[in-house]
Amino acid sequence: MRNTVELPPAEITRQIVAGNRVVLAQAITLVESQRQQDITLAHSLITRLLPHTGKAVRIGITGVPGVGKSTFIEAFGMYLTQQQKKIAVLAVDPSSSKTKGSILGDKTRMENLARNPNAFIRPTPTGNTLGGVADRTRETILLCEAAGFDVIIIETVGVGQSEITVRSMVDFFMLLMLAGAGDELQGIKKGIMEMADAIVITKCDGENKKAANLAQANYRHALHLVSATDSGWQPQVLTSSALENTGVKETWKVITDYLEFTQANGYFNRNRQWQNRSWFYESIQSQLLQKIALSEKVNANLARFESEIMNNTLLPSEAARQLLTEVFRGSI
């Protein structure tokens, strides 16, 4: 098969809509490229595919390393494929440049799901900026939708900024949590809990079952205390054992209830519109920063500015103003 880049755009579009995995994977690689000509091609491709996008359910799943994300997603994904759904899993791992890939490095993750013809698993390589990762993940979601996937899972490690970014690109956001020893509410920032449409307490089996049920009661109580979500939805707390395959069907039921609820009250569409708008503003910022970073005028003057700032002869905010005036002279 010829590389996607060499096919005429109309042919790439046709192949993706027909569900050709190889072409889809190559198109995602194109989206992930940093080369300007690839970015231009990727954007024109996605623009052609836009009429075929938007029909999937976009689900974000986060949780600390070891909570059981990949095991849960595998069980959940297998269940969905049994329901005749096609499922794509995109793993966003902004921490991997530091940790050498808590998501990407482990090749044994989701082995069964990876072999399933109705599932597609794709790690999103880290870029140097989270903004870049977000853009590429959003574009990859659109490609997967055009390729006919019904459910798209965006998995991220619950460390830092990434869950907020993922929240901004999904319809339903799930937090996986472990039952702790009495301090269940300590492990996670309150803000993240408030973003969740559901919390799933993992590993509810064997000796851990009692603690998981207790944690469920505690989180239910805690979530009742936080103010209502924008959608009007009351977040749900479930327990699951991916090993014993419990709580998987129930999780899907909660998601379909949520979809019904938010489609009826108009939130679902409104949320997607807002998400597109914030994507636009984020792109302005990230493209602006990239333009500045690549600017010859900036690079030619940076060292001089830095040394003046460090010697206290130039005010940093004034240096920034002068630099930007120089970059955009005559162009804005």
> Which residues in the 203-222 window bind ligand GDP by CB under 6 A?
203, 205
Nearest-approach distance from CB 202 to ligand GDP, in angstroms? 6
Q: Are 230 and 258 in contact (CB under 8 A)?
A: no
Instruction: State in Å, rounded, how far the first CA of the chain is from the last one.
Output: 44
Q: Quick one: which of 69, 86, 122, 136 contacts ligand GDP (CB under 6 A)? A: 69
Give the separation between CA 120 and CA 42, rounded to whole angstroms: 20
Per CB under 6 A, which region of 18-26, 63-71, 143-151, 303-311 contacts ligand GDP? 63-71
Closer CB to ligand GDP, residue 49 or residue 212?
212
Q: Are 222 and 234 in contact (CB under 8 A)?
A: no
Interaction of residue 166 with ligand GDP, rule CB under 6 A: no
Site string for ligand GDP, 229-248 (x = CB under 6 A): ------------xxx-----
Interaction of residue 95 with ligand GDP, rule CB under 6 A: no
Closer CB to ligand GDP, residue 189 or residue 277?
189
Closer CB to ligand GDP, residue 4 or residue 137?
137
Closer CB to ligand GDP, residue 15 or residue 156?
156
| Strand ranges, E, within 46-103 | 57-63, 87-92
Interaction of residue 68 with ligand GDP, rule CB under 6 A: yes
Closer CB to ligand GDP, residue 16 or residue 177?
177
Q: Quick one: which of 15, 26, 62, 71 contacts ligand GDP (CB under 6 A)? A: 71
Q: Are 125 and 32 in contact (CB under 8 A)?
A: yes
Interaction of residue 67 with ligand GDP, rule CB under 6 A: yes
Q: Are 184 and 219 in contact (CB under 8 A)?
A: yes
User: Encoding tokens for residue 83?
Assistant: 């329901």
- The residue assigned the tokens 């002068």 is 322
Closer CB to ligand GDP, residue 26 or residue 241?
241
Per CB under 6 A, which region of 29-37, 123-131, 201-209, 303-311 contacts ligand GDP? 201-209
Radius of gyration over alpha carbons of the chain, in Å? 22
Nearest-approach distance from CB 186 to ligand GDP, in angstroms? 18
Interaction of residue 41 with ligand GDP, rule CB under 6 A: no
Q: Quick one: which of 202, 236, 239, 262 contacts ligand GDP (CB under 6 A)? A: 202
- The residue assigned the tokens 């482990």 is 106
Backbone CA torsion sign across 324, 325, 331, 332? positive
238 beta partners: 200
Helices and strands (H, E) in the chain, number of each type: 14, 7
Q: 15: which residues sit within 8 A by CB, 6+ positions away?
A: 7, 23
By CB under 6 A, name the binding residues for ligand GDP.
63, 65-71, 202-203, 205, 241-243
